[in-house]
Structure 1
């Protein structure tokens, strides 16, 4: 129940992002056309893709809260990952659109310096997005939610993109009007880069990929558990914002079933306390003398 309550709480962060992106995208695009700034317009288009990303995070969080059923015995938490994958394709299309528009501006060869007001608008919007990033980051840390943390990092990148757009606009006002188009092109590159990162993370998780370094840390925790003689196998996969861990350990063959079960419980307790992993499946096997002799020979 605590997990589903955390997911519900995480929806607040997604709603904050959606509200901020809707207001800022409308404001930036309209003011971008009024001030003649391609960079500010591109920044506004970037925020429209972020609306979709935030909606995807919200949808993923809501679907993930559904309890396990006959068709989903592990629950629905991978809905977050699927939503992120879909969002990455939409972000990529928006990034290509921004880059094509900036490329046309270069080919036309006509560059006019935008109104300096556009720079102040970009900086003000950057400050707002930094505030949204701070809020979502703190909330994601408190409820230990990876998808909301990813959304927070997207908030931060949007704040930095706005700062870059302001720099391009100011440069254009100081006699280099082409810099406004350059800033728009840079925004497109940032959108594509973010889309690739989201796609890579989502596809890696959906194919049951897992970070080797994290797995080594988990292995050290299991190995240090009193009573564990050897780890025969250890595997992990991501299920939404949660980790599912399967481990096969060998214990002394002289232990009773109850004593072996206590070791299994201790492994589960340590993984929950040290790594916040509540889904741990431990299989116990006997550690024989022949195995001990074989290890000593090697």
Structure 2
């Protein structure tokens, strides 16, 4: 099935992130201590927590592949969204810790000039993380995975942090050591901002939020299906990398069951053409019949 194939493919992004973070965090923390760079150590600490976040994403993707059972009639697809939520909490905690440590260093005026090697490590790390970001972004678009998309956004944040770290270190080397601490503070802010973005999207999905523009786009497609007179109700929600749509349309009351059923098939095919991984439930009513649940989508 395409859905579970996409989930298995999504695991590649999680494994790639884990392997990359293991290597980069080790290098940054080691060189950061040796080269006396607060910013690089903050960046390395960020990457160590990214390992935990990536493992959470991987576990979420694994759980999502479990088929429906007696307790989960719609499957376990939301596990990857929960994984994204957990990843956001981990990132936020680390961001606050980085802000606290770097702010303390800044206030205490405890600055030292870092070595040039720390800047080189930061630049190389930024290039590597940007490459991982591009890979995971394309993978998330292909698999429609919210967890892989969260991982990609984290990768992009890490790439920007590393480039910013390099700039701060170079500034410290040329005679402004305080810039290293300032850069570490900026690193903490970027980490928290990325955590918030991932948190907001995960909560929006878990609370059955659905993009209004997407509602209008799909509603227009339904209205244009031959045989549909009015679209009187449309509801959508995300379930992992799948979309569930429930809608009610009115048709000619003189149509027989077979022709009414054909209209439902046309509606389902039209929506799936626009959004392949979609489960569509269509309710047909005879036009002219008034119902209290009419939502005004006519």
* TM-score, normalised via structure 2 length: 0.94
Q: Quote the Cα distance in structure 1 between the aligned partners of 2:93 and 2:23.
A: 21
Alignment partners' CA distance in 2, 1:13 and 1:182 = 32
Q: What corresponds to 1:294 in structure 2?
A: none
- Quote how far apart the aligned CAs of 1:60 are: 1.0
Equivalent residue of 1:279, what SS?
strand
Aligned equivalent of 1:80: 80
- Post-superposition offset of 1:290: 8.4
Distance 1:248 1:27 in 2: 57
Question: Does 275-284 or 112-121 show the bigger shift?
Answer: 275-284
Return 5+ residue gaps in structure 2 as ranges: 292-297
Cα distance in structure 2, aligned partners of 1:221 and 1:112: 62
| Alpha carbons 2:241, 2:277 under 8 Å: kept | no
How far apart are residue 288 of structure 1 and its match?
A: 2.3
Q: Give the whole-Å Cα distance in 1 for the aligned partners of 2:206 and 2:146.
A: 15
Kept after mapping to 2: 8 A contact 1:57/1:148: yes
Q: How does 1:12-161 map to 2 (within 5 A)?
A: 12-161=12-161
C-alpha offsets along residues 101-149 of structure 1, whole Å, 9 cap, x if unaligned? 0111012113111111111100001111112112222222233323212
Q: Find the aligned partners of 1:212 and 1:45 in 2 and give their Cα distance.
A: 38
In structure 2, C-alpha distance between the alignment counterparts of 1:217 and 1:45, rounded to whole Å:
43
Q: CA deviation at 1:44?
A: 0.7
Residue 237 of structure 1 is matched in structure 2 by: 237
Residue 62 of structure 1: SS of its match in structure 2? helix
| Counterpart-to-counterpart distance in 1, 2:44 and 2:110 | 22
Query: How many residues get paired?
Result: 292
Match of 2:278 in 1: 278
2: distance between equivalents of 1:158 and 1:289?
57
Residue 264 of structure 2 aligns with which residue? 264
Asked if the contact 2:129–2:158 (Cα under 8 Å) also holds between the matched residues in 1, the reply is yes
Q: Secondary structure at the match of 1:254?
A: coil
- Partners of 2:211 and 2:114 in 1: CA distance: 46
Quote the offset at 1:173 in angstroms.
1.1
Question: What SS does structure 2 have at the residue aligned with 1:76?
Answer: coil
CA RMSD of aligned residues (A): 1.6
Residue-by-residue CA offset, 1:168-193 (whole Å, 9 max, x unaligned): 00111122111100110001001111
Residue deviations 1:136-165 (CA, integer Å, cap 9, x gap): 222222333232122112212211110000
Cα contact 2:83–2:147 (8 A) shared by 1: no
CA–CA distance in 1 between the matches of 2:229 and 2:169?
A: 64
Q: Which blocks of at least 5 consecutive residues in structure 1 are unaligned? A: 292-297
| SS class of match (2:225) | coil
What is the Cα deviation at residue 92 of structure 1? 1.0
3-state SS in 1 of match to 2:70: coil
State the secondary structure of the residue aligned to 1:246.
Answer: strand
Native 8 Å contact 1:271 1:277 kept in 2: no
